[in-house]
Amino acid sequence: MVELLPSILSADFARLADEVAAAERGGGTVIHVDVMDGHFVPNITLGPPVVKSLRKATRLPLDCHLMIENPDEYIPAFADAGADWVSVHYEACRHLHRSLELIAHHGMKPAVVLNPATRVNLIVDILPMVHHVLIMSVNPGFGGQSFIPFSLEKIRRLAQLRQEMGLAFRIEVDGGVAHDTVARIVQAGADLLVAGNAVFGAGHAERDARDLLAAARKAAGE
């Protein structure tokens, strides 16, 4: 089943609870929270205090995408704040296996993220540990960028590996998910669709989430 994960990066932060509620009414089932530190990526966003507030504002799972250096140092704080899923970048983890174990140890669902230039084959050995793999289809740091087409091949490769290895991890895609790209993304094998600009960019989160999810479901034959 495909799911829509509205990314609050493009929401109005002064009205965050209302924005999240609108995206949920439009069919969003997990809230995607982009955490940026100004070091791993050239932008700064938010951290555990905002996650804590979001936790009170919605019952939906909070998917925290950590675009930060030294993520291990902050995993306990995200757990305390109420994060449900936590993903760390392959490129930011010196000991990825340890980071994933730490996330699971704190009762959250662990996931690994791959930047566009990072090959899927590098994570084969840790696939049995993850709840999902996040394929970045833009270079992380900003919303509203264009989808990088070769991401589709990475999604297909991952779906193939999942089948060959008899695993059940989910495949998440983040960056440039929009009306003109969503069908190809779903058909390649992705089932967790992150969308920021396409949901919040025009100020009609409920309507735009609903339309995007309808297009995704149609492409998935659901």
State the nearest-atom distance from the C-beta of 158 to ligand DX5, in Å. 18
Q: For this structure, is 125 an active site residue?
A: no
Query: What span, in angstroms and rounded, lies between the C-alpha atoms of 19 and 28?
Result: 11
The residues that bridge with 67 in the sheet, in sequence order, are 36
Tell me the three state secondary structure of residue 193.
strand
Cβ neighbours, 10 Å, residue 153: 11
37 is an interface residue for Zn ion by CB under 5 A = no
Query: What span, in angstroms and rounded, lies between the C-alpha atoms of 72 and 60?
Result: 24
Q: Which of the following is catalytic: 37, 174, 191, 208?
A: 174
Which region, judged by CB under 5 A, interacts with Zn ion, from 26-34, 90-98, 119-127, 179-187?
26-34
Q: Which of the following is catalytic: 34, 37, 84, 208?
A: 34
| Residue among 100, 72, 99, 219 nearest 169 (CA) | 100
Q: Which parts of this chain interact with ligand DX5 (CB under 6 A)? A: 7, 9-10, 32, 34, 65, 138, 140-141, 143-145, 174-177, 194-198
191 binds, among Zn ion, ligand DX5, none (CB under 5 to 8 A by kind): none
Q: Would you tell me which residues interact with Zn ion (CB under 5 A)?
A: 34, 65, 174
Catalytic machinery residues:
34, 174
